[in-house]
A and B are shown apart, each in its own frame.
Chain A
Amino acid sequence: MSATLQNLVNQPYKHGFVTSIESDVAPKGLNADTIRMISAKKKEPEWLLEFRLKSYEAWLKMEEPTWPNVHYPKIDFQEISYYSAPKQKPKLKSMDEVDPELLRTFEKLGVPLHERMALAGVAVDVIFDSVSVATTYKDKLAEVGIIFCSMSEAVQDHPELVQKYLGTVIPSTDNFYAALNSAVFTDGSFCYIPKGVKCPMDLSTYFRINTEESGQFERTLIVAEEGASVSYLEGCTAPAFSSNQLHAAVVELVALDNADIKYSTVQNWYAGDEKGVGGIYNFVTKRGLAKGVNSRISWTQVETGSAITWKYPSCVLLGDNSVGEFYSVAVTNHYQQADTGTKMIHIGKNTRSTIVSKGISAGHSNNSYRGLVKVAPSATGARNYSQCDSMLVGHHSGAHTFPYIQVANNCSQVEHEASTSKIGEDQLFYFAQRGIDAEAAVSMIINGFCKDVFQQLPMEFAVEATALLSFKLEGSVG
């Protein structure tokens, strides 16, 4: 390929900067005392401290998973600081009170928060490092009984709800990183949609990791009661650091009878430089429980950042006729590694699931789809459709597919389709011969490849995602 293709992808990370806000950072290392310290700092009830300590005990006995198709040096968990909070000022009531420095950070990210809220009517729970500093639109949502706040606030203000659902979808013993998160999570988002309420706006959170060497352990819990529905957006960027940062979030969704939860993510954390130095380790556990009849859990993700991504947003389809969906675009470039996919666990009768996964690998990167479709004996009449497509850009990237299908009854239907394609020099020459340069050509090919996923995204997210993909792949073809 020609030099143009190379130059197209190789652009420096736009969001590479560190904001100088004083942080309150815990000393490095993890033991029961660290956990007690976190819990005390956050003035948590006794049951939550117990939950943390139990998780920690479990974690000590667990081993780091080695089955993902990713490679990285061993993480020293005693070299990580487990708590970092911006120096606390009095509680803020409006955006006007937010540190101007913080607001400038969002400006640099190209997401002017106030404008975004005004234009899109999006309520944004601003997470800066591990502690929420401002929450908006809360009152408006409260009118219809929706609770949307930081996890810390939820623990203080709605302990009974948190206690009822926390860890019910992803038990703290689920896996190594979920156990670690359960022990040390510092904050996150909590969202509760009461019976019969359709959330009137998309709920959105911007995550940002800001302190060098601080692990980030977010905890998100969304509960939709009977007949409720909500669309939740998660978007992330992070500053460019030379050393790796660990991110091990846990997201739990619970949908009761006839409830509907749509969870969309655009992930653009620092991916390391073009030689593969630095970047975020993104080891995330996300799972939704379609608990009630006719409930629906839908995951849409656009994964473009992180040095390593290890993430399988999953659905447990417990209620009869419940529906699980997973729409994913994962882009890797340079030396990024992604091992991502989903699990669809069919338990209820006539449950249905759809998986659409699009992997794009450029540079020297490796992109793996890993997915499990499991149909229990009880899930009679279950149906699954999976489509996994890979696209290679250049000559040094890799695409891998690891589908696992387990069907334990004889009246279910499971379909799996897969394809691999490559952006070839001949395609680009064809575009060029019609007057279209390589950049526009790649953008058009990629958007065509991803359109089944993009059309699942909320409108403004879809526009962002399209721009982000073109930006990520600039210079990779040629």
Chain B
Amino acid sequence: MIYPDSKIVLEVRGLCASVNGTEILKGLDLTVRRGEVHAIMGPNGSGKSTFSKILAGHSAYEVTGGTVMFEGQNLFDMEPEERARAGVFLAFQYPIEIPGVINSQFLRLTYNTVQTHRGKEELDPLEFDDYVREKMKLLEMSPDFLERSVNEGFSGGEKKRNEILQMAMLDPRLAILDETDSGLDIDALRIVANGVNQLAGKDNAIVMVTHYQRLLNYIVPDYVHVMEAGRIIKTGGKELALELEARGYDWVGAECKAASEAAA
């Protein structure tokens, strides 16, 4: 929801980045305020997933220009784990499997690490068990999730629910959902979206990266951005997503090109 005079959570200016010498982001601008839900859409290879990984601090990407401020701090001065503790959360497109590490132990470590950083009490295993089971109800997860290895042998839908469960536990300032709808059947999509909607509030912000309009039927964005060739080339309201669904992406590029030629 858009609140007047809400504080800026994320401010991206002229962001350029490359991987293995290939430039992927070419001057990206984006401002996200508390309470807002943003959707970034665009064709394959436009740089959407790269953008979300750069915000989280993945070492494979090199930032070559521009600035990113998170809650008034230079994001690039922070290590990936510091960003997470400060409230940047990335729901992975492909959550990583960690064989041998029990989900409940992993969840408790991450919860307690972030809590400690925020000057709050840690939970012992019994307290945490109560806490996490309550959160799991939100996502209609069965308790046996806790006893399994992290993401190992999980179905696509189970992995995504495990991601949103962690989002619910860690209470981030900025949640980036990278293709969260991919690999979800319609029931799982409804459950995951319902979870996200309950977590959205006036103190946090959500950036969804997605191919398809489908997810946006469930999580209604305040802004829709179209990304192409490493830049945001058009921004609109939720109706823009419907237009993209109907007409594809090509017309946005063409319109944009015509506009810049007219300006010249």
Judge whether A425 and B99 touch: CB under 8 Å: no
Tell me if A406 counts as interface (CB < 8 A to partner B).
Answer: no
Given A429-B58, A435-B117, A451-B100, decide whether A444 and B105 contact each other with a Cβ distance below 8 A: yes
| Interface residues, chain A, with chain B CB atoms under 8 Å away | 2, 421, 424-427, 429-437, 440, 444-445, 448-449, 451
Which of A424, A425, A432, A448 lies in contact with B101, CB distance below 8 A?
Answer: A448
B101 touches A433 (CB 8 A): no
Of B81, B84, B101, which contacts A445 at CB under 8 A?
B101
Some 5 contacts from A to B, beta carbons below 8 A apart, are A429-B57, A432-B81, A436-B109, A436-B110, A449-B100
- A435, B98: Cβ atoms closer than 8 Å: no
* Interface contacts beyond A435-B170, A437-B81: sample of 6 additional A-B pairs, CB < 8 Å, sorted by A: A429-B58, A432-B79, A433-B81, A440-B113, A445-B98, A451-B100
Bound form: Cα–Cα A54–B117 in Å: 67
Residue of B nearest to A426 (CB): B96
| Interface status of B80 (Cβ within 8 A of chain A) | yes
Q: Are B96 and A436 in touch, CB under 8 angstroms? A: no
Across the interface, which residues of B come within 8 angstroms of A449, CB to CB?
99-100
* Residues B105 and A434 in contact, CB atoms below 8 Å apart: no
Cα–Cα, bound, A445→B97 (Å): 11
Given contacts A437-B81, A440-B109, A448-B149, contact A432 B57 (CB under 8 A): yes
Q: Is the CB of A430 within 8 A of B81?
A: no
Scan residues 87-140 of chain B and give those whose CB is less than 8 A from a CB of chain A.
89-90, 92, 95-96, 98-102, 105-106, 109-110, 113-114, 117
Q: Which of A2, A431, A433, A448 counts the most B-chain CB atoms under 10 A from its CB?
A: A433
Q: B248: shortest Cβ distance to chain A, in Å?
A: 32
Asked, given contacts A2-B59, A434-B166, A435-B113, whether A448 binds B81 with beta carbons under 8 Å apart, the answer is: no
Tell me which of A421, A444, A451 contacts B106 (CB under 8 A): A444
Main secondary structure of the interface of A (DSSP, over half): helix
Known A-B contacts A432-B80, A435-B84; A427 and B98 likewise in contact (beta carbons under 8 Å):
yes
Q: B33 at interface (Cβ–Cβ under 8 A)?
A: no
Contacts of B90 in A (CB 8 A): 433
Specify which chain B residues have a CB less than 8 angstroms from the CB of A440 in the assembled complex.
109, 113
Give min CB distance, B186 to chain A, whole Å: 27
Whether, in the assembled complex, B75 has its beta carbon less than 8 Å from a beta carbon of chain A, the answer is: no
Contact with A along B151-183 (1 / 0, CB 8 A): 000000000000000100010000000000000
Check if B84 sits within 8 Å of A434, measured CB to CB: yes
Q: Which residues of A contact B92 (CB under 8 A)?
A: 430, 433
A448 and B110 alpha carbons, distance in the complex (Å): 16
B85 within 8 A of A: yes
Contact B98 A432 (CB under 8 A): no
- How long is the Cα–Cα vector from A177 to B89 in the complex, in angstroms? 57
